[in-house]
Amino acid sequence: MALRISAAVERWPVAGQFIIARGAKTYVDVLVVAVSDGAHFGLGESTAIYYNGETAESCLAEVEAVLPQLEPMDADGAREAVQHLLPPGAARNALDCALWDLAAKAAGVPLWRYAGLEAAPAPLVTAFTISLGEPDVMEADAAKAAARGFGLLKLKLTGDGDVARVAAVRAGAPDARLIVDANESWGDLDIAAEAAALAGLGVEMIEQPVAAGRDALLADVQACLPLLADESCHSAADVARLAPYYDGVNIKLDKAGGLTEALKIADAAQERGLKVMVGCMLCTSLAVGPAFLVAQRADWVDLDGPALLAEDRPDHFGFDGGTVAPMPSFL
C-alpha cells in the first residue's frame, strides 16, 4: 500500500544551557517524520549533526526531496530504498526510524521484537552530561546530577585545563563513575599522559580525543584508558578503518542515518572485539526509542538527551535513579 509521509521541524528548550567545546545551546530543533499506510502510523525524530553542516531545515529539505520516490512503496521497501537515496545523517535517521515504527505496528508487534531482539529491552544505566564550564561550575553541576541519582557522568572537555575540570567534578561527585568527551580537542596534547592523569581521578573512558580524519595520530598512543571514536564513526564501513586506532565506537542514530545502519555498526564493532557506546544528540524521547534497542548491547549508554530538556513528550522514557527506562507503550 502506498505511503503518506510528512515532516516538520519542532523546537524544544534546553534546561539551562548545554555547553560543549563548540558552543552553547539553549534549545534544540528536531526533525519529526510521520509515515502512514492508511491503517497504521509511524514516527521518527532526528537532530541535525551541526558539525557536519546539517541544520534542521536542510534535513527537512532532504526528506521532502525523496518523498516522490518513497511514497509509492510499502514500509519495508521504502526503508530499503532510503538507505541508498540519502547519505548517513539526520534526515535519513528520521525517515528510517519512522518506517521501522510503521512496519512494526503493521506487523502487530513491538519495535524491539520487529528489530530482532530476543527479549523486551530492560532499563539501562545512562550517563548524564556535565556541560563544559569552569571547574567550580562543573563541580556544582556534578553534585546536582549525583543528587538526582545519576551515578555515571559524562564530562565535556576542551583540551585546556581538563584535568582541573575532572578533579573538580570528582570532588563534587566523589562516588560517581566518570567518562569524558574530548570533542576532538586533544590533537596537540600528550594523549597518553592526559589519559594517565584522568585515570588517577577515576575516569574510565575517553571519547574522540582527536579530530575526525586525524585518527592516525592515535597509531602510537599507548593510553591506559579505552579511546572511543564518535565523530569519526558514521557507518559500519568506518569500523574497519578505525579499529587500529580506537578501542570502541560511539553509535548515534543521527550520525548513522537510522536504526538500520546503527545495528550494522554494532555488529561490525562486536565482530572486531571493539567496545560499543550508544549515545544521542539533544532530543526528545521519540528519538531515544530506537537508540534504546541498540543500547541493549552497549558497554556504555549515553541517552540523556531528553533529561537535558526543559520538558519532554507526554509519552516519554523515564530518567529516575540514573537509569533510562522505556514507557509502557514501547514494550
Task: For 207-253, write each residue's pLDDT tens digit.
Answer: 999 999 999 999 999 999 999 999 999 999 999 999 999 999 999 99
Domain end point (choices 66, 86, 109): 109
Residues 37 and 185 in one domain: no
Amino acid letter for position 281: M
Q: Which three cell numbers stand for residue 243?
A: 579499529
All 3 cell numbers of residue 65? 526531496
- Considering the domain architecture, whether residues 105 and 230 belong to the same structural domain is answered as no
Residue whose C-alpha cell is 563513575: 177
**181 marked ligand binding residue:** yes
Asked if residue 131 belongs to a domain, the reply is yes
Catalytic residue among 25, 105, 154, 252, which?
252
- pLDDT > 90? residue 21: no
Beta strand segments in 198-303, E: 203-207, 227-229, 248-251, 275-279, 300-302
The residue among 52, 53, 58, 42 whose CA lies nearest residue 9 is 58
Same structural domain, 170 and 314: yes
* 64 within domain boundaries: yes
Q: Same domain, yes or no, for 133 and 218?
A: yes
- The distance between the two most distant Cα atoms of the chain, rounded to a whole number of Å, is 59
- Same structural domain for residues 103 and 135? no
Active site residue 156: yes
Query: Of 82, 109, 136, which closes a domain?
Result: 109
Strands 4-20 and 23-36 turn out to be antiparallel
207 is in an annotated binding site: yes
Residue 183: name the closest of 157, 155, 218, 213 by CA: 157
Is 271 known as a binding-site position? no
Alpha carbon distances (Å) from 205 to 155, 170, 198, 227, 270: 11, 15, 9, 6, 18
Does residue 118 lie within any of the structural domains? no
Q: Is residue 331 part of a domain?
A: no
DSSP 73: S
Distance CA 303, CA 295 (A): 9
Query: What is the domain range of residue 55?
Result: 4-109
In a domain, residue 296? The reply is yes
The tally of domains found in the chain comes to: 2
Residue 317 lies in a domain: yes
Confidence check: pLDDT of 319 > 90: yes
| CATH number of domain containing 218 | 3.20.20.120
Average of per-residue pLDDT values in the chain: 96
* Cell numbers placing 250: 560511539
Residues 102 and 141 both lie in one domain: no
pLDDT at 328 over 90: no
* 235 within domain boundaries: yes
The residues pairing with 5 across neighbouring beta strands, listed in sequence order, are 35
Place of cell 517524520: 33
Q: Are strands 227-229 and 248-251 parallel, antiparallel or unpaired?
A: parallel
Coil, strand or helix: which one is 318?
strand
Q: What is the pTM of this model?
A: 0.95
> Which CATH number does the domain housing residue 80 bear?
3.30.390.10
Catalytic member of 156, 255, 264, 275? 156
> Is 46 a domain residue?
yes
232 in the same domain as 163: yes
Mean pLDDT confidence for 307-319:
94
Instruction: Show which of 52, 84, 109 is a domain's final residue.
Output: 109
CA dihedral over 98, 102, 107, 111, signed as positive or negative: positive
User: Do 105 and 132 have their domain in common?
Assistant: no
Predicted local distance difference test score (pLDDT) of residue 321? 86
Q: Does the annotation mark 154 as catalytic? A: no
Residue 171 scores a pLDDT above 80: yes
Query: Are 167 and 305 in the same domain?
Result: yes
- Indicate the pLDDT class of residue 270, thresholds 50, 70 and 90: very high
- Shared domain for 149 and 180, answered yes or no, is yes
Q: Do residues 259 and 142 share a domain?
A: yes
Tell me the per-residue pLDDT of 115-142, one tens digit each, with 9 for 90 and over.
999 999 999 999 999 999 999 999 999 9
State residue 150 phi and psi, 5-degree precision: -80, 115
Residues in the chain: 331
pLDDT greater than 80 at residue 49: yes
Reading the block at residue 328, the C-alpha cell is 509502557
Residues 100 and 133 in one domain: no
The confidence score (pLDDT) of residue 1 equals: 64
Give the amino acid at 99. Answer: L
